[in-house]
Amino acid sequence: MITLYGIKNCDTVKKARKWLEKNGIDYHFHDFREDGMQAVPLKRWLGEFGWQEVLNRRSTSWRALSDEQKHCMDNDTALVLASETPTLIRRPVTSTANNTRFGFKEAEFAQLTGQPN
């Protein structure tokens, strides 16, 4: 089963959800805002991928951080900030039993789900 993490009004999340539905793939959607951050494996993501992969450094939320916060960013700081401001997380996050991906690219989704490209 695929879990798709994100925010329902995010355009990239909308594209990913539409692609999954179009291809008849069952998934569970976890909205960071509505469903909360308690069940989000953010600490594991940061440990496995590092803050550079997990945080969206092109987001408005990233730009709103102080220069000091950006300069001193590490996994521990990212954990605190992303827990408080989930829009810092690169979306969508797609998770299966043995695979986690950040962002949406049709070719990667096809590979992840075993669908023809």
Q: Which residue is catalytic, options 1, 2, 8, 10?
A: 10
Report the side by side order of strands in the sheet with 93-96.
Answer: 27-31, 2-6, 93-96, 99-102
Residues listed for the chain: 117
Angle in degrees, 0-180, between the axes of helices 106-113 and 11-22, rounded to the nearest 10 = 40
Tell me the residue type at 47.
G
Give yes or no: 10 in active site: yes
Q: Which residues are catalytically annotated?
A: 10
